[in-house]
């Protein structure tokens, strides 16, 4: 089996699709797809990208598929401090500041804090210094007994919500780092709830304040690094919280 064929088969398994399902979506014969997976046929660059698109493979892994097939990557991957990303990061910084006085953080694919607005100190004040040493993982910070967890009044509910989000992200990306993070976080105390809560959103009840969150991502990224960034903003869920934040 070829390297690219093995990777495609793995992604097809992750998406729980049969060869017939995927071939129908991609507009190729199931026989040809079978030949690609077993290495009897070498896929073209366009074929790899078409299959990756139908499998909803992240940009980083699309590049890996292309390399395994003997082709150059289709998507750039710049470091966060590289000049090509400077204007975009400046814009994201303005978005963070625009959320003030509500807390907001910019995170990467592993939930590492890239940037944050000044209001985030409402959450981080009182956390163990070791958890605030870069690189700061915001999920670890939230659920660690020395982090936010002791002041989260609905810890079991919020913990369940975060772990389910992490499960979905790990399944979507097949990222072993996220799976290891899930194992670590599941070992922290705090409990989980069996069923989802009633209501329109899962609230974060923190230190007498009530928040709901929104997640923002770039709509048309062509760079791997940018495609993996997200802004998590915490908005007041009631008038008392808005007043306490100064909004």
Packed helices 59-68 and 45-54: angle between N→C axes, nearest 10 degrees: 150
pLDDT at 71: 97
Contact 28, 20 (CB under 8 A): no
Contact 157, 197 (CB under 8 A): yes
pLDDT truncated to tens, each residue of the chain (247 aa)? 689 999 999 999 999 999 999 999 999 999 999 999 999 999 999 999 999 999 999 999 999 999 999 999 999 999 998 988 999 999 999 999 999 999 999 999 999 999 999 999 999 999 999 999 999 999 999 999 999 999 999 999 999 999 999 999 999 999 999 999 999 999 999 988 876 555 678 899 999 999 999 999 998 899 999 999 999 999 999 999 999 998 6
Alpha helix segments (H runs only) across the chain: 3-14, 19-26, 30-38, 45-54, 59-68, 86-98, 121-124, 138-143, 155-173, 176-186, 224-227, 239-245
Is residue 236 left, alpha or beta, with left meaning phi > 0 and alpha meaning psi from -120 to 50? beta
Read off the tokens for 156. 């079991």
């Amino acid at each position: 089996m070829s390297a690219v064929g093995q990777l495609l088969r793995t992604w097809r398994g992750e998406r729980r699709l049969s060869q017939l399902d995927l071939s129908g979506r991609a507009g190729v014969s199931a026989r040809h797809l079978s030949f690609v997976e077993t290495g009897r046929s070498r896929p073209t660059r366009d074929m790899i990208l078409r299959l990756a698109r139908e499998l909803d493979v992240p940009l980083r892994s699309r590049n890996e598929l292309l390399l395994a097939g003997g082709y150059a990557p289709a998507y750039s991957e710049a470091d966060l401090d590289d000049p090509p990303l400077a204007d975009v990061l400046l814009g994201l910084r303005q978005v963070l500041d625009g959320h003030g006085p509500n807390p907001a953080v910019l995170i990467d694919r592993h939930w590492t804090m890239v940037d944050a607005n000044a209001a985030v100190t409402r959450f981080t004040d009182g956390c163990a210094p070791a958890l605030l040493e870069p690189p700061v993982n915001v999920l670890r910070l939230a659920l660690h007994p020395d982090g936010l967890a002791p002041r989260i009044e609905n810890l079991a509910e919020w913990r369940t919500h975060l772990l389910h989000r992490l499960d979905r992200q790990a399944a979507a990306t097949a990222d072993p780092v996220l799976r290891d993070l899930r194992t670590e976080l599941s070992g922290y105390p705090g409990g989980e709830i069996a069923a989802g809560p009633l209501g329109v959103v899962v609230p974060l009840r923190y230190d007498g304040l009530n928040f709901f969150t929104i997640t923002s991502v770039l709509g048309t990224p062509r760079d791997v690094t940018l495609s993996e960034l997200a802004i998590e903003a915490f908005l007041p869920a009631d008038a008392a919280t808005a007043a306490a934040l100064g909004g």
